[in-house]
Amino acid sequence: MKIKSFAPGKIILFGEHSVVHNRPAIAAAINRGVDVELTPRNDNIVHVIVPAIGYDEKHELTNSRLNYLIDSHKKMITDYIYEVINLFEFQSGFDIKVDINMYLGVGLGSSAAVTVSTLKAVSMYADKDYTKDELAGIARSIEIKIQGAASPIDTSMSTYGGIIYIDNEFNLHSVNVNMKLPLIVQNCQISGNTGKLVESVRQKYEKYPNIVGKIFDAMEQIAVDAKKALEEGNNEHLSNYMNLNQGLLDSIGVNTLELSEMVYTIRSHGAKGSKLTGSGGGGCIIAFCPDNIDEVYDSLDDNYPKFKCELSTEGVEASIIKD
């Protein structure tokens, strides 16, 4: 018997940075994320394998619990796995392989996907039948424990899937999408510092409130109109809103030469809309290719890693595989 689970990653479609200043944003779950495979053992060993980072460690249960001590200074992706395992009691040990099929540390919600997928598989092994609401709440509490603070966006996307609209009061609303969302995600392999970027934008806003405030207002209108485009299935409008949003992000200083090169190169290869996703300063871009994703993908060189993805509508899911 094996338990297999999957939780999606996420991208920010619209509203980076402006969402910090009480403007709306739109996030989407993607069908690239984290696959977990849990196999029961006949002893008290918990064997954790994370191929993406070359991690392979064994630990022993004591009185049915792991009680693994997290090193708060190292901040490893495995912390999220162990915090999940520490929650439960087990009758016997298990092997758990966590396959991360997305880029780490670039704003794609990898830690949330690891947490939610691991939580789904491990809770099933521990005979706990959590609702999606319960999974999202537990996963967010783990992210807060490890990170000190955490938005509900990433764990919500990994749990529920689909597209969410974050309103001016930071309430999350599901968007009824009437279109496919074929995307290319490309990674410049440089990690931006989110805290510093958010602070630099705040300082610009403080220094030039009338100018930056109007940029945020424009970002807000883009998010509002983009929600409508998603609901109506309007590829042309969605593409144009992405390109407009990219220009506004550039104007507040979160673009980079590498991101800009990727954005414009992929448009020249046929992408209809492209922009950075996340806080900027590095990380990833997304490109919307409604009619020609294979052609665009195959025409790009290998200077920057990339993958194709689509909208994940189901969120976290799991199955039990009988021997």
CATH number, domain containing residue 270: 3.30.70.890
The structural domain count of the chain equals: 2
pLDDT for 191:
85
Could you give the CA distance from residue 283 to residue 298 in angstroms, rounded to a whole number? 21
Asked if 213 and 302 sit in the same domain, the reply is yes
pLDDT for 248:
97
DSSP assignments along 56-69, one per residue: EEEEE-BTTB--PP
Asked if 89 and 64 sit in the same domain, the reply is yes
Asked if 119 and 200 sit in the same domain, the reply is no
Which residue range forms the structural domain that includes residue 16? Answer: 2-174+312-321
Could you give the CA distance from residue 66 to residue 59 in angstroms, rounded to a whole number? 8
63-89 tens-digit pLDDT: 999 988 887 667 789 999 999 999 999
Respond yes or no: is residue 294 known to be catalytic.
no
Asked if 154 and 215 sit in the same domain, the reply is no
CATH number, domain containing residue 42: 3.30.230.10
Asked if 198 and 223 sit in the same domain, the reply is yes
Q: Which residue among 154, 167, 291, 298 is the active-site one?
A: 154
Asked if 150 and 200 sit in the same domain, the reply is no
Where residue 194 falls among pLDDT bands split at 50, 70, 90? Answer: confident
DSSP assignments along 123-144, one per residue: HHHTT----HHHHHHHHHHHHH
88-134 tens-digit pLDDT: 999 999 999 999 999 998 989 999 999 999 999 999 999 999 999 99
Asked if 123 and 188 sit in the same domain, the reply is no
Quickly tell me which residue has 């958010």 as its tokens.
198
pTM to 2 decimal places: 0.92
If you average pLDDT over every residue of the chain, what do you get? 95
Asked if 29 and 147 sit in the same domain, the reply is yes
Where residue 147 falls among pLDDT bands split at 50, 70, 90? Answer: confident
Nearest CA to 319 out of 98, 125, 41, 126 is that of: 125
pLDDT for 22:
92
Nearest CA to 266 out of 236, 303, 231 is that of: 303
pLDDT > 90? residue 149 = no
Could you give the CA distance from residue 18 to residue 16 in angstroms, rounded to a whole number? 6
pLDDT > 90? residue 151 = no
Could you give the CA distance from residue 151 to residue 232 in angstroms, rounded to a whole number? 28
pLDDT for 192:
83
233-282 tens-digit pLDDT: 999 999 999 999 999 999 999 999 999 999 999 999 999 999 999 999 99
Nearest CA to 256 out of 225, 279, 226, 237 is that of: 279
Where residue 228 falls among pLDDT bands split at 50, 70, 90? Answer: very high
pLDDT for 72:
66
Asked if 13 and 87 sit in the same domain, the reply is yes
pLDDT for 256:
95
Asked if 168 and 71 sit in the same domain, the reply is yes
Asked if 111 and 213 sit in the same domain, the reply is no
Asked if 145 and 235 sit in the same domain, the reply is no
